[in-house]
Amino acid sequence: MEHPIARAGGVLAALRRKAPLVHAITNFVSAPFTANALLALGAAPVMAHAAEEVEEMAGRADALVLNLGTPTPATLEAMRLASRKASECGIPVVLDPVGAGSTAFRTRAALSLIAEGRPRAIRANPSEILALAGGRGARGVDARNGVEEACPAAQVLAAGGTRVVAVTGAIDFVTDGRRGIRVANGHPLLARVTGTGCVATALVAAFLAVEADALLATATALACLGIAGEQAAEKADGPGTFAAFLLDALHALGPEEIASRARFSLSSAAGET
């Protein structure tokens, strides 16, 4: 496999040229921050939730995000409608199964969206991935498992190359069931700001809108967020200023910084190469 760093900068440049429209049915806790992060990187966000319009909006978008952070029966129905329309139009769908395993309601919702919508990518923490594969799952929305514990489950969820699964943590693992990339960029302050996981999912969707190789697109999205997090931490005094500097760093991030700062390692299935 060609090393992804060789192409990652070009993927960011393509996103900036196209400014893809990302339709995010996301949670109310993180919606403004997610929208601002998409804008900062160069994408265009829209947060349409009403069942009466989600199909029309999904059909016009370049990518769709389904985020289970604050699920209700109404939002789940909107997600199903939007996901069905996006699939019909060939628009990539990214699922964030927030809190899967913490309640039966969330777990059933995530599994049904996977079965019915067949998302192109799933971005989750290790406990959520394990829950989707039949494990015990998360405490609330927090991970209590390490990334490496969830790698085999991620490969199963990747369904033999039909989707990409990203397990995020200190070192992210991205797999399509055959290939794998570990992304070592990031900073601990990313875990101290509500919504950075939601941002990661939205950035994955934005990159999927401009790059056909879903593994490369997902790894590039996580590297961009991680690098921006490293840069923001150099200036921040704590979580509050970090959040603001993170948006600034995403806005200023250039293709050359991806080439120089991205820390990728390749693997085939679970093993390093």
pLDDT digits (tens, 9 = 90+) for 78-100: 999 999 999 999 999 999 999 99
Q: In the prediction, which pLDDT does 188 show? A: 97
**Averaged pLDDT, 209-220:** 96
Instruction: Name the DSSP class of 248.
Output: H
Q: In the prediction, which pLDDT does 273 show? A: 40
**Averaged pLDDT, 166-192:** 96
pLDDT over 90 at 136, yes or no: no
- Most confidently modeled range among 141-145, 245-249, 266-270: 245-249
Q: In the prediction, which pLDDT does 144 show? A: 65
pLDDT digits (tens, 9 = 90+) for 244-267: 999 999 999 999 999 899 999 987
Nearest to 63 by CA among 19, 11, 16, 23: 23
**Averaged pLDDT, 133-147:** 64
Kindly list the structural domains of the chain, giving each domain's residue range(s) and its CATH number in brackets, ordered by start.
5-268 (3.40.1190.20)
- CB 10: neighbour CB atoms within 10 A? 16
pLDDT digits (tens, 9 = 90+) for 217-244: 999 999 999 999 999 999 999 999 999 9
Pairing of strands 264-268, 93-96: unpaired
- Token representation of residue 54: 């989600």
pLDDT over 70 at 271, yes or no: no
**Averaged pLDDT, 35-55:** 97
pLDDT over 50 at 140, yes or no: no
State the distance between the two ends of the chain, measured CA to CA, in whole angstroms: 10
Nearest to 227 by CA among 206, 248, 212: 248
Nearest to 45 by CA among 56, 32, 54, 55: 32
Tell me whether residue 146 is exposed, middle or buried, using C-beta atoms within 10 angstroms of its C-beta: 0 to 12, 13 to 18, 19 or more.
middle
Model confidence, pTM: 0.93
- Most confidently modeled range among 13-27, 132-146, 161-175: 13-27
